[in-house]
């Protein structure tokens, strides 16, 4: 089974062009499934059948895994099984017509526009780290990029003169996102008097660097945004994607087209983008209840 798993991960990387974080997620799920099979002395992928899969999912449920986690494991196994059928390792698909557990849609947490303003005011642009943080947070709120996309940016992917960024999203799909004047201003300042102090040489291509001159990590970004949220007095739960969710919600609140938002966010399916319409509808209801005399 290990050989088939490695072939599958190679297929996802080379033929499907999936992001590295996605590949890692698939690998971890299949490592757990393989351990389950090993406990039952089933070591060949060709031995997989529907009963084995159902027993595995039942074990996940018994060990207290959430419906979302079980659903993710099912999605991993479905893709793996289709691969094994295509490779003629399996004669039939044991996951065919097997439905994922119903998931309650969880609305993403967003900041009010006033809270975003407070957050973005916190970095002190008089020092190098503060200038980098200001440019980074402004760019994220201006474009709605995923954290992984933001931190993967190289110098050549940003055009400050014409105001756009070339972003590589999931599945290595490229999209062009406009950048507003405020983000462009601080990005230009960071490049001219901030980044050059962190990395005076030309060896590192990354746009955003840690103070050791290396590409900033997700963990580094996570610490930065939590620090500024605390300084701004924001009590809401902050995640690395909070500015992305806020970007999308604020655009819709101000009349943006859903299809245009889908393109900017890099969603393959507009149904994913539509979750933000639920947020704006909730906001409208709050405004109505607060201000209508007969609400």
* Catalytic machinery residues: 146, 170, 241, 244, 267, 276
Which one, of 209, 141, 207, lies nearest residue 177 by Cα? 141
Backbone angles phi, psi at 253, to 5 degrees: -60, -30
Helix, strand or coil, per DSSP, at residue 230: helix
For 65, residues 6+ apart whose C-beta sits below 8 A from its C-beta are 73
Q: How far apart, in whole angstroms, are the C-alpha atoms of residue 170 and residue 174?
A: 9
Alpha-helical segments (H) within 213-295: 218-231, 242-253, 258-265, 270-273, 275-291
CB-side neighbour CA atoms (13 Å) of 93: 15
Structure tokens at 253: 């609140």
Q: How far is CA 167 from CA 13, 164, 215, 263, in A?
A: 19, 9, 16, 12
């Amino acid at each position: 089974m290990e050989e088939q798993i490695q072939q599958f991960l190679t297929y996802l990387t080379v033929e499907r062009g999936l992001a590295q974080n996605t590949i890692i997620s698939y690998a971890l799920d299949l490592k757990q499934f393989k351990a389950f099979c090993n406990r039952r002395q089933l070591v060949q992928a060709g031995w997989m059948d529907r009963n084995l899969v159902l027993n595995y999912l039942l074990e996940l449920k018994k060990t207290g895994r959430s419906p979302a986690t079980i659903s993710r494991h099912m999605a991993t196994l479905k893709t793996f099984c289709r691969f094994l059928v295509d490779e003629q390792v399996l004669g039939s698909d044991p996951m065919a017509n097997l439905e994922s557990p119903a998931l309650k849609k969880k609305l993403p947490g967003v900041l009010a526009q006033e809270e975003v303003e407070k957050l973005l005011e916190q970095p002190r642009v008089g020092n190098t780290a503060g200038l980098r943080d200001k440019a980074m947070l402004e760019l994220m709120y201006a474009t709605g990029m995923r954290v992984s996309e933001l931190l993967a940016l190289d110098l050549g992917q940003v055009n400050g003169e014409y105001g756009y960024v070339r972003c590589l999203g999931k599945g290595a799909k490229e999209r062009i996102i406009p950048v507003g004047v405020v983000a462009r201003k601080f990005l230009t300042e960071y490049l001219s008097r901030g980044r050059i102090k962190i990395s005076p040489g030309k060896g590192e291509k990354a746009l955003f660097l840690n103070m050791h001159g290396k590409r900033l990590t997700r963990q580094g970004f996570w610490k930065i945004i939590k620090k500024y949220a605390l300084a701004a007095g924001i009590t809401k739960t902050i995640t690395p994607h909070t500015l992305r969710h806020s970007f999308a919600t604020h655009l819709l609140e101000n009349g943006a087209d859903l299809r245009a938002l889908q393109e900017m966010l890099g969603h393959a399916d507009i149904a994913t983008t539509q979750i933000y319409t639920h947020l704006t509808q909730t906001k409208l209801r709050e405004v109505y209840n607060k201000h209508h005399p007969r609400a």
